[in-house]
Amino acid sequence: MVVLDDEHSIGRFSRYARRALHVATIVDDGRTADILLDTAQKLGLDGWVLYPTRDATVAALSRKRELLQSSFRVPTPGWESVRYAWDKRETYDLAAELGIATPRTSYPRDPDDLDAVEGDGPFVVKPAITARFRQVTKAKAWRAENRTELKALLDRAAELVGPGEVIVQDVIPGGGRNQLAYCAFFKDGEAVASMVARRLRQHPSDFGRASTHVETADVPMLEELSERFLRAVDYYGLVEVEYKLDERDGQYRLLDFNARTWGYHGLGRLAGVDFPYLLFLDQVGESAPRSRARPGVVWTRLLTDVPTAVLEIARGRLGFAEYLRSLARTDGEAVFSSRDPLPGLAEIALIPYLTVKRGF
């Protein structure tokens, strides 16, 4: 593989990385396409498969898909599909059309437009377009306990990303066991390979940017809901659709739609479904065998799971013995591998950098 990144990536330390290049951007549409095409020419990468790992890179590849296909195999689908992942307003509007439950959602046009928001809280303030918001706030979402806090957060959001760029949702009660995701390699209206995962712990714990302790599960309802959504947007490729179970009415409410590989995709390989490899087979014209992840397989990312667990233990929401038992059930660690140890060591060394860059 060849790694291109505009940050310091642990992927460059892998024994499987033939080359690793630090580039100016992998998020700006036009410049990203130019950099990729120039790299293909210099390194002889014609026909290689592109794997985007950030939402903004997905958008760049999708919008410049036709141009990039002159040199690469581009498994990112066209903008007519990706736009439903890029803008959550489109995600939730389509879900409503398809009869898929979502949290109660409001779209205030400016900080003073509180009449557009129903209820008294608690609320979640989250971006309509994730990439812009996360870049400046280093957060996935904010929580407001009441309407006064909501007004303050809307003021802050308008200052940072502009008015009308955030949405407000009700907080769905419940912990990690209620946070689930449907993951798949989807093609021609059906899943070639699929997995349902339960995000038992995430970092940060309230609105996680990343999963830290995940277990495969058997939830047929999520498969039906997700495949209905993916067929509606004529989706192709790797995808993660996130939900939370609302115990008040038993409904799975759609939270997010990610048109890319996800951070815990290695769980799939542990459970019998190697998603990136299956996509590669399809891209090079070989048959990708149909598969479904077996339930009960556990994946952990220790670097973020340990501080998350310490905080949960301090809050009284997790027992120390319970935490140790959960680690004992782990079938695989996210990064560390005895066959390829340098990325895991590099990740530890990069903690100060990641703290500054992403808020860790």
pLDDT in tens, 23-76: 999 989 999 999 999 999 999 999 999 999 999 999 999 999 999 999 999 999
pLDDT mean over 233-252: 97
In the prediction, which pLDDT does 64 show? 97
Q: Is the dihedral of CA 35, 41, 43, 49 positive or negative?
A: positive
Give the pLDDT band of residue 207 (cuts 50, 70, 90).
Answer: confident
Looking at residues 119-129, what average pLDDT do you find? Answer: 93
Q: What pLDDT digit, counting tens, does each position of 269-288 carry? A: 999 999 999 999 999 999 99
- The tokens describing 242, both together, are 């996130």
Please give the C-alpha separations between residue 62 and each of 74, 83, 260, in angstroms, as whole numbers: 9, 9, 11
For the whole prediction, is pTM greater than 0.85? yes
Q: CA-CA distance, 71 to 135, in Å (whole number)?
A: 30
Burial (CB < 10 A; 0-12, 13-18, 19+), residue 341, is middle
What does the alpha-carbon distance between residue 195 and residue 223 come to, in Å, rounded to a whole number?
9
Backbone angles phi, psi at 3, to 5 degrees: -105, 125
Name every residue whose Cβ is closer than 8 Å to that of residue 316 and which is 6 or more positions away in sequence.
none
CB under 8 Å to 329, separation ≥6 — which residues? Answer: 298
Percent of the chain topping pLDDT 70: 98
Q: Is the pLDDT of residue 360 over 60?
A: no
- What share of residues in the chain are helix, strand, coil (percent, to 5)? 40, 20, 35
Kindly state the average pLDDT of the residues 171-181: 89
Residue 357 above 70 pLDDT?
Answer: no
Q: How far apart are CA 191 and CA 183, in angstroms?
A: 9
Residue 352 predicted with pLDDT over 90? no
CA distance 36 to 235: 24
- For residue 183, the 8-state DSSP code is E
**Contacts with 66 (C-beta within 8 Å, 6 or more apart), sequence order:** none
Contact (CB, 8 A) for 154 and 79: no
User: Kind of pairing, strands 298-300 and 210-217?
Assistant: antiparallel
163 or 194, higher pLDDT: 194
